[in-house]
Amino acid sequence: MATKAVGDDNFASEVLGADKPVVVDFWAEWCGPCKMIGPSLEELSAELGDLVTIAKLNIDDHPDTPGKYGVRGIPTMILFKDGQVVDTKVGAAPKAAIKSWIEAAL
């Protein structure tokens, strides 16, 4: 399963109302570290698709949601479960570290 694009308009339904945990990657086209973790997130989406949805929100196209969750630097990944923030990870990390973070938070 590929990552899912979300935005200000569908964040409540796709993330807060989701029936399983959702990791939201806040990113932008111009962000080098965001581009570095992108392929890892795609792979993790395929590997962990039964447990968690991995979504991506472009902060340039959708500026309202990052502000609501205190996103000040990117990449920032926030794990939501039952509509609540469970954990936050700021900065790029190797695939194994991201996977461990997700699994620990679940």
Q: Which residue has the tokens 């700021």?
A: 90
For residues 58 and 84, give the distance between their C-alpha atoms in angstroms, rounded to a whole number.
Answer: 20
- Res 1: pLDDT: 67
Domain CATH number, residue 50: 3.40.30.10
User: Checking DSSP bridges between strand 53-58 and strand 4-5, what pairing results, if any?
Assistant: parallel
Q: Classify strands 22-27 and 76-81 as parallel, antiparallel or unpaired.
A: antiparallel
What's the predicted TM-score (pTM) here? 0.96
The confidence score (pLDDT) of residue 16 equals 98
Residue 67 is predicted with a pLDDT of 95
Domain boundaries, position 22: 4-105
Q: How many domains does the chain have?
A: 1
pLDDT confidence tier of residue 106, bands split at 50, 70 and 90: confident
Beta strands in the chain (DSSP E): 4-5, 22-27, 53-58, 76-81, 84-90
| Residues annotated as part of the active site | 31, 34
Q: What is the mean pLDDT of the chain?
A: 96
- Stated as kind and residue range, the H or E segment containing 42 is helix 32-48
Q: How does pLDDT run across 55-95, given as a tens digit for each residue?
A: 999 999 999 999 999 999 999 999 999 999 999 999 999 99
CA distance readout (Å), 27 to 33, 57, 99? 9, 6, 18
